[in-house]
Amino acid sequence: MKKNTPTDSFFAQVYEVVRLVPWGRVTTYGAIAQYLGAKRSARMVGWAMNQAYLYPDVPAHRVLNRKGLLTGRHHFATPTLMQELLEQEGIQVIDNQVQNFETLFWNPSQELAL
């Protein structure tokens, strides 16, 4: 039996936050890292998203880079699937970038504040 490592625990926390991103909204690797108290761990959030395909209930397509770019698109079943999923939610994507990113941005530090 595999023992949980700190990385496994962090990934699980990332997935919990991503599951809370509302339909039709997007967030960033950095915003998730900051919410989890690991401000400098945006790349680690990205690594978690690379493994999110193992958890179909994690809407990984809603997690972008800080400029609204679909940098994780290559980790989906097809290179266009991330964009297709976002467009199904009414989000416009042009040249692999979410349009109106600032308006659609969901900040867990603000939205989930106690």
Confidence at 7, pLDDT banded by 50, 70, 90: low
Q: Is 109 helix (H, G, I), strand (E, B) or coil?
A: helix
Radius of gyration of the chain (CA): 13
Q: How many CB atoms lie within 10 A of CB 25?
A: 16
Average pLDDT, the chain: 92
Q: Which of 9, 16, 99, 24 is nearest to 61 (CA)?
A: 24
CA distance 114 to 88: 31
Looking at domain 6-111, its CATH architecture is Orthogonal Bundle (1.10)
Confidence at 5, pLDDT banded by 50, 70, 90: low
Contact 98, 86 (CB under 8 A): yes
pTM: 0.90
In tens, the pLDDT along 19-63 reads 999 999 999 999 999 999 999 999 999 999 999 999 999 999 999
Residue 92 phi, psi dihedral angles, 5° rounding: -85, 130
Give the residue ranges of DSSP H helices in the chain.
6-18, 29-35, 42-50, 81-88, 101-104, 108-111
- Assess whether pLDDT exceeds 60 at residue 2: no
